[in-house]
Structure formats: structure tokens, C-alpha cells
Amino acid sequence: MNRPGSIQPPDDLGDARAATDMAWAVQRADRQALGGSGGSARAPAIGALSRRRFLVGAAAAGAGLSLGVLNPRTAAASASATADEVNAWVVIKPDDSVVIRIARSEMGQGTLTGLAQMVAEELDCDWSKVDWEYPSPRQNLLRDRVWRSFATGGSRGIRGSHQYVREGGAAARLMLVEAAAGRWQVSAAECSAANSIITHKPSGRTLTYGAVANDAAKLAPPLEVKLKDPKDWKLIGQPVKRLDTADKLNGKQVFGADIQLPGMLNAAVSACPVFGGARKRFDAAKVAAMPGVKGVVPLDNNAVAVVADTWWRAQKALKALPIEWDFGDGGSLSQADIIARLDEGLTAETPLIGNQSGDARAALESAETLVEATYSYPYLNHATMEPMNATARWTEDFCEVWCPTQNGEAAHAGAAEAAGLPLEQVEVHKVHLGGGFGRRGAPDYVRQAVLIAKQFPGTPVKLLWSREEDMMQGFFHPITKARVRGGLDADGKLEALHLRVSGQSILAGLMPNRLADGVDFATFQGLLPEGDQRISYRVENLLVDHAMRNTHIRPGFWRGVNVNQNAVYMECFLDELAHAAGTDALAFREPLMRSNPRGWAVLQAVAERSGWASRQEDGRHLGLAVFHAFGSDVAACAEVTVEADDALRIKRIVAATDPGFCVNPQQTEAQVEGSFVYGLSALLYGECTVRDGQIEQRNFDTFPSLQISQMPEVETLVMPSGGFWGGVGEPTIAVAAPAVLNAIFAATGKRCREVPLKRSGLKFA
């Protein structure tokens, strides 16, 4: 046991509690800003325009409250208890079509299809007849949280709900069989069900699910359901196609940014470019006469929105609107100050310990060989392809919201707070997300939309952030540096390791109530003694600690969260140690992984598949990395070339993942490839820097993303060993960057320890 038993790794991050905390944190931050600079923050009453102008369009919004934007193909089915609802998870129509309710959000990661597979597996229905719909957070509230958490983050969509979702399918199946048996007046034990057909075995009679669904719905749910043995799964584990592809090929998919409602107005917003700053004054008269402008709305104490008939006109007027800000304390901070703060933390005293065994400091002192290196990993914006947006329609007694969100319940809470209405009088319609990556767990943009809509009672208003606003008002992947020291004995064996992280804490910024005696255990993802985020190695003398150095930049959960940098720090340093020991990087890890057979298995698999053993004879430059993240073991072997002119090409990456059970291997492959694009974009050019308190990068020209010409060929080995449920969307992002960095060393003999690589002198195609 490495640590006192009191450590609770925060493996529920991204789930309901965390997201609710986050909703709270966002409001708290706003309020703090309010108190912080109140003196200068005049709160102008709706600018210079008359109140009447704000009511324009109210009469035009004749549409009722039923403008739900669910899956358009099943929009008729409301998620309230209906006659064809067998239970909360399963609706079966007379034509045998099956609608499976999905509580978590689909943002590209394929969870929707995976969850439907889980329900359908136990339901034994005809997969070709399966469609889906989202229940709303309000329905969840009114039905006693029958769908439980809506939170979609921390790679927990499936592993956090697999049990009760499968039970929902199994219970519905039992009820359908019982209903058929009742129809035939036989014992349910004589009946079987498969492919949406119930068969009375002795007589051979059959009924379809659709024929008995209404009867089944009237039955009491079974007290006990038994789930299938994984070896009997027919659908879980199959590479079935996604359920939500067709509309993404022809423009029909409605994203939040695409919502159109009768009489709808459009809003563009600008918040203080420095976090913690406030709005001083703005001159609405300057834009009042611009075409289409309907109003200028101050939001909280730190933002202002322009509302117009179209978004283009709203954004144009916003650009023309004179706004003065009070930047507050953060306004004096620049990148060099932050780096200096982090540098100081690399050697400072700290009580914040994540993992400790033996006596690392003493063992380092006496080690035969001491290796030391300092790494850094920057602030990053999520840069979801679809900028933040939400549409709201407010009246005195009801508020309706359409938004892309990773957490319907947090959006619901945020909307209700902004609307000044109880939760029962607020409805949130979840819309497909144009990317999430952790950004859309926070309801900040939902609150803004409601606050704007409140000024136009009865009229729907769509708020869309410009890319520039989206880049500035993010929840940034925290900045850190690490000083890592390792001690080798005379045989070149690792006997001591001290990994010091210096930098920002996400929990301290967003949910300080989740700190444990001041420790942010999320900082130590992949380095903890046990649990979902445990370290992959056993080192006799180990110390992993954190000098917390926070700034005013708002931190957030960015795909993979802290495994991104922790894997670089750990895996690149192990490569350095192996090199210092004169040992092959794979062989060097072997003795450290004897108690981690799954980690070793994925590492060996990528090494073998990549031809690691023959790389020198073949003249190929490879790099390895392995990590444990979000409950899964993942590894990668990257191959790069670096030409004489320093042109880097990432040729190929073989990845392996052991998520325990794998629900859909082809979607798992897609997630591995996608996580690599996200992680390698950060490795090559990501980075948000701070100048005068503001994020400098405002668009994709200064915050580029990997292009197809730079995309390595990715081969994914899906290696589910069974028996547990690990994450899929995030874990593999951990290994892309360190594997490539180690391969660059193999090719050049030079260590790149600073992410991104854009200052390394390497050139990318």
C-alpha cells in the first residue's frame, strides 16, 4: 500500500455531482466578479433603448411550449409516460419500432449508439428497428430522476450507467414476455424472446413486441432482473453502425447553432476579456440605429449582448459597440509572470502529495545515477467545432431552452437560476453537440441566453458566440510544468522517482469544495496509488506532489484532463531514464510493470505490432508510451521521420486499449483516432498564452488543428480483457504525445520537453 487509505481519487469527475458543482462554480465566479469591482460597474438599465423595443417580436412568437427538438424522426414521442412506454428506457410502437431513451449526451463520441446497444442487448429486440430519443432534464425531475444522471464526461457515459441501463432493457423484455404469456394464458417460463418476437415454445405461437407493448406497459415492473452473461452478448461488442449518421450527411442534423423558431431573434455577446474583470460602461446609442438591432443587454456585471433580427447583424453591431472594461487584478498578468510562478513551484516546499512510498528524496541522494528533466504543458482551449450557443424563450411562468450540453441537469439548473423560476417551470431540450470535449459541462452560455431572453418576454432568442468569444471565454486546460528526478542503481534499475507538478488546479478553480485538505487529486490522474487513475508502475521510492500555482484564467476539464501532461511527464521521463540506463525502453519498463499485467499487455502489443524489436535494423524511429486512464489501460507506439531540414512527419501510430468490456469496437477505433487528432493538435501547435490578462489566441489562425496531411496512419488494437468497464473517449489521448516525443528523440537524439512543439525548431508538413 503506497498511501494512507484516506485518498479518494476523484473518479466521479464529470458526473452529476461534479457538473452540478461546476454549475454552481460558474455562478459563484460571476458573483465574485460582481462583488470584486462593484464600484466602477454601473449597471445600465438596458442601454439607451426604450423598453418597448425589447418587446418587439413577442407577439410573433406564437409557438407553444411543445417546440421540442428531440430526434426529429421520433419527435412525436414525448418522453413522458405514454401508453407505448414499456418502461422509462423503452418505447415500442405498434409497428414494432423501438425507441430507446438516452439520458447521456451525444457529442460525437458514440455513446448514444453504445447505450442503445446495451438496452437492446437485454431487450432482445430487432436492432434494425431501433431509434432513440433524449428525455429532458425536466422530465427526469418530474419522474423522480428515473433516468438518473445526464452528465456526460470523464469517459463515464457508458461505464457510469451500464448496469441500470441494461437492467432497463432486461425489465422491459420480461414485461413483454409476461404480456404475451398473459395473452396466450400460458406460463411465461414457456416463452422465449428474440429479435422482437416472443415465441410460446410448446405451441410455436408467436407475437411481436409491438403487439403486446401496450399490455406490457400496464404490468408491474419485475422485482428482480437477471442480466445476460457477457459470453451470451449478441449486440454488445459488435461493430454496429452509429444510429445518428444519416442526418449528418445531408445538412439535416440540427445542432444548437441551427435552431430556428418562429419570430426568433439572434444575440451576439462579449464578456470581459479578462476573467474576474467587469463591464464599466457601453454606449448602446452608437448601435441602436444599425440595421436589425433590437436591443443591447447587459449581462451580470461582466458582459453585454446585442440582439438583432439576424446573428450577422447582431455580431456586426457588437463589434461597433463601444464597451469599456475594468480588467481587475488579472489584467496585469502575462505569460512570463505565470511561467515564473510555475518555475518557483518546481522546487518549493509543498504539502500536496498524490502518491508516496519509501523515501524518494533520500534514495535520490544516494542513487548511483541521477537523471533530471523539466517539462511543460500549456493552457489549451477546447475549441469545439461548434461555438457555444443556446436558445431561450422566457415568460413570467415558463422558460424553455434549446442547447447543446454535456449535462442536461446542470443546464437545467443554470437556466432556472437565470430565469428566476423553479426547475419545474423550466424545460431544457437537449440538442446534438458540435463537439464537447469537456467544455459543455458548464452552463455559462445557457445562463447568458436565458438572461437575454428575459428582456424579450415570449420571444425566442438564440445566442451564438463568435469563435473569438469562444476562444477567450473558455475553461482552459490548466497550465503546468513538471520537474522529474529519477535515481538508477548500479544495474541501471529505477529505484527512486520524484515527480513534481507545478501549476494550476482545476478543482481549486471550479469546485474548491472538492479539494481534500487542499489537495486536488485530479491533478494526479494516472499517477495515483490506486483506482481509475492509478499509476502504471511500481517504484520502491516514489513521490508525486503538486505545488499548486493558480491564476485568474478559468480552468476546465479538457478531453483527457490531466492525463495529457502527466503522461508526457511520466512516459517521456521513463524514456530518458531508459536511455541513461542504456536499456531498451520496453525492457526498462518490464520490471516496473510486474504488478500491472494489463498495462504490460497493451504495451507489448503495440511494440510487437510496430516491429519494436527490429526497429534499429530497419532504420525506423519509434517511441513508446503506456498509461492507465479513466479505468482503461492504453499504449501507443509512434513512428516518425525527421528530415535533414528538421521536417517532422508522424508516419504511423499503433495504439492499443483494454477498456475491459468493449461495446462497439469500430466506434472505439474512431475514438482512438479522434483522441490522437485532438492530442497531436495540442502537441504540435496548441497553446493559449496570456497577455495583459487576456488569452491571446482568438481563432484557428493562431490556434490551429491537425490537418489531414499531418495525420498519421493510426492502427488500433482493441483488446478487451473483460470483467470491468473502462473509458473509451479520453484514455488514449494520454499516449499520443509522449509516444511521438519519444520517437522524435529516437530520430534526432534531441529531447523536446516543451509542449507545443512549434518552438522546437521542428517543421511540420
Partner 1 sequence: MSKLNINGQTLELDFDADTPLLWVLREQAGLTGTKYGCGIARCGACTVHVDGQPMRSCVVPASAFGPAQAITTIEGLSPDSSHPVQQAWLELDVPQCGYCQSGMIMAASALLDGNPNPTDADIDANMTNICRCGTLQRVRRGIHRAAEIKAQGKTA
Residues forming contacts to ligand FES in the complex (CB under 6 A) are: 108, 385, 435
Q: What is the closest distance, in whole angstroms, from the C-beta atom of residue 386 to ligand FES in the complex?
A: 8
With contacts defined by CB under 8 A, name the span among 243-251, 505-513, 548-556, 597-605 that binds partner 1. Answer: 243-251
One of 310, 332, 366, 369 touching partner 1 (CB under 8 A): 310
379 secondary structure, DSSP code: B
In the numeric block, the cell 529505484 is attached to 495
Q: What is the closest distance, in whole angstroms, from the C-beta atom of residue 263 to partner 1 in the complex?
A: 14
The helix/strand/coil state of 180 is helix
412 binds, among ligand FES, partner 1, none (CB under 5 to 8 A by kind): none
Closest to partner 1 by CB, 62 or 251: 251
Grid cell, residue 761, equals 525548431
- Burial class of residue 324, CB neighbours in 10 A (0-12, 13-18, 19+): exposed
Q: What is the closest distance, in whole angstroms, from the C-beta atom of residue 681 to ligand FES in the complex?
A: 12
With contacts defined by CB under 8 A, name the span among 216-224, 383-391, 480-488, 502-510 that binds partner 1. Answer: 383-391
Closest to partner 1 by CB, 10 or 263: 263
Closest to partner 1 by CB, 252 or 594: 252
With contacts defined by CB under 8 A, name the span among 61-69, 178-186, 434-442, 635-643 that binds partner 1. Answer: 434-442
Single-letter amino acid, residue 683:
L
Closest to partner 1 by CB, 478 or 679: 679
CB 117 within 8 A of CB 166: no
| Site membership for partner 1, residue 674 (CB under 8 A) | yes
Task: Provide CB contacts within 8 A for 355, sequence distance 6+.
Answer: 2, 3, 524, 527, 528, 529, 535, 542, 543, 544
Alpha carbons 653 and 638: distance in angstroms, whole number: 4
Q: In terms of Cα–Cα distance, which of 628, 599, 659, 636 is closest to 528?
A: 628
Closest to ligand FES by CB, 565 or 668: 668
Task: Provide CB contacts within 8 A for 714, sequence distance 6+.
Answer: 652, 653, 654, 655, 672, 673, 676
437 binds, among partner 1, ligand FES, none (CB under 5 to 8 A by kind): partner 1
Closest to ligand FES by CB, 173 or 242: 242
Closest to ligand FES by CB, 434 or 478: 434
Grid cell, residue 578, equals 531508459
CB 476 within 8 A of CB 556: yes
Grid cell, residue 450, equals 436565458
Grid cell, residue 107, equals 457529442
CB 89 within 8 A of CB 165: yes
Grid cell, residue 657, equals 486499449
Alpha carbons 710 and 713: distance in angstroms, whole number: 10
| Dihedral sign computed on CA atoms, order 51, 56, 62, 65 | negative
Q: What is the x/- site pattern for partner 1, positions 475-514, by CB under 8 A? A: ----------------------------------------
Q: What is the closest distance, in whole angstroms, from the C-beta atom of residue 699 to ligand FES in the complex?
A: 9
Interface with partner 1: number of residues (CB under 8 A): 65
Run of H or E including 209: helix 209-218
**16-36 vs 444-453: helix axis angle to the nearest 10?**
60
Closest to ligand FES by CB, 435 or 526: 435
Q: What is the closest distance, in whole angstroms, from the C-beta atom of residue 730 to ligand FES in the complex?
A: 16
171 binds, among partner 1, ligand FES, none (CB under 5 to 8 A by kind): none
Closest to partner 1 by CB, 590 or 713: 713
Residues that bind partner 1 (CB under 8 A): 106-110, 241-242, 244-255, 257-258, 260, 266, 291, 310-313, 316, 383-387, 432-437, 464, 466-467, 666-667, 670, 673-678, 699-701, 704-709, 711, 713-714, 765
